């Protein structure tokens, strides 16, 4: 009878002790995990702040670089809306960056110009590659020439969400080229209508260009003479040395 009473008591004590040990074990493990979680969260917060600081520094560095650039830089959204632009770009448009942010290409440029530029942006977006194109922009009655690089910009998921426009102003160069073409045309008119037989001779004596009067006197066509015949072909042997001497004097700047 005594054994029957003692056995259940011992079993109950054993069960209680086991429960206590299990509770303590779970508590210790839980406490350990909570402590580790706090440590991890602390490190993540510190890393997050460090990352935010780095991103902020990168953004500030980019802004300084963008503003210090003496070339127009514009970031444009997929629908042609200006997301950002530097002072140089805004100055070329006749205002400040805040005057143009959130405006579309069609708000700023004539429709035909905006359509053409937007078309170029779409080509870069669809190909996923940058491209370079020489463009002419008429703005407020003035023509500007640019060598424009269009660079697709991707977000962190790899999707293109905008295009970066880097415009190199080549207006002065184009004006110089245009002036030289006009000057050449004027020179050609004078050369043709001088009334005197005139030719331009290369260093190897080959005739480069002749005018109409020279063509008439020579008895040959321009096609037969230019870059094919030499001036010595029109000089008799006994006069060749005398003509050569006079040409040398001209080369040395003497009459």
pTM of the model: 0.50
Q: What angle do CA 79, 85, 87 make, to 5 degrees?
A: 155
pLDDT tens-digit profile of 157-207?
A: 888 888 988 888 888 888 888 888 888 887 777 777 877 888 888 878 888
Instruction: Provide, rounded to the nearest whole percent, the portion of the chain with pLDDT above 70.
Output: 64
Homologous superfamily, domain 69-171: PAS domain (3.30.450.20)
Would you tell me how many other CB atoms lie within 10 Å of the CB of residue 197? 14
In the chain, what are the domain boundaries? 1-68, 69-171, 194-251
For the segment 122-146, the average pLDDT, to the nearest whole number, is 83
Write the burial class of residue 226 (CB in 10 Å: 0-12 exposed, 13-18 middle, 19+ buried).
middle
Write the burial class of residue 210 (CB in 10 Å: 0-12 exposed, 13-18 middle, 19+ buried).
buried
Q: Is residue 175 a contact partner of residue 78, using CB atoms and an 8 Å limit?
A: no
* Distance in angstroms (rounded) separating the CA atoms of residues 59 and 37: 32
């Amino acid at each position: 009878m005594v054994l029957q009473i003692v056995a259940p008591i011992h079993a109950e004590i054993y069960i209680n002790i086991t429960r206590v040990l299990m509770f303590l074990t779970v508590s210790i493990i839980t406490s350990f995990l909570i402590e580790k979680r706090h440590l991890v969260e602390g490190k993540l917060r510190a890393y997050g702040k460090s990352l935010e600081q780095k991103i902020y520094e990168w953004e500030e560095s980019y802004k300084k670089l963008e503003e210090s650039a003496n070339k127009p830089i514009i970031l444009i959204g997929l629908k042609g809306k200006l997301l950002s632009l530097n002072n140089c770009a805004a100055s070329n448009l006749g205002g400040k960056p805040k005057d143009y942010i959130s405006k579309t290409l069609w708000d700023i440029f004539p429709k035909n110009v905006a359509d053409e530029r937007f078309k170029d942006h779409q080509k870069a977006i669809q190909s996923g590659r940058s491209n370079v194109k020489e463009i002419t922009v008429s703005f407020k009655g003035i023509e500007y020439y640019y060598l424009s690089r269009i660079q697709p910009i991707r977000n962190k998921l790899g999707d293109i969400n905008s295009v970066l426009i880097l415009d190199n102003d080549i207006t002065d160069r184009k004006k110089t080229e245009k002036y030289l073409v006009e000057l050449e045309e004027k020179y050609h008119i004078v050369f043709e209508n001088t009334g005197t037989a005139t030719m331009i001779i290369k260093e190897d004596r080959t005739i480069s260009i002749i005018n109409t009067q020279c063509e008439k006197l020579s008895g040959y066509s321009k096609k037969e003479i230019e870059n094919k015949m030499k001036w010595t072909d029109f000089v008799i042997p006994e006069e060749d040395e005398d003509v050569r001497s006079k040409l040398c004097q001209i080369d040395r700047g003497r009459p």
